[in-house]
Amino acid sequence: MSKESIQQKLKIVRESIIELEPILQLSSQEIVVDPLRLRSAERLFQLLVDSFTDINTEIIAEKSEEIPDTYQGTFYTLEHIGIITSELANKIAPSVGLRNRLVHRYETVRPAFSIDEMKKYLPLYISYVAVIVQYIEKMK
Locate the domains of the chain by residue range: 3-137
Burial 119-131 (b: 16+ CB within 10 A, else e): bebbebbebbbee
Q: Which pLDDT tens digit goes with each residue over 15-65?
A: 999 999 999 999 999 999 999 999 999 999 999 999 999 999 999 998 888
- d(C-alpha 70, C-alpha 17), whole Å: 23
Is the pLDDT assigned to residue 129 strictly greater than 60?
A: yes
pTM strictly above 0.75: yes
CATH of domain 3-137: 1.20.120.580
CB atoms within 10 A of CB 46: 16
Q: What is the pLDDT of residue 138?
A: 87
CA-CA distances (angstroms) from residue 30 to 22, 25, 45, 84?
12, 10, 17, 34
Alpha helices in 25-110 (DSSP H): 28-32, 35-62, 71-80, 86-92, 95-104
Is the pLDDT assigned to residue 74 strictly greater than 60?
A: yes
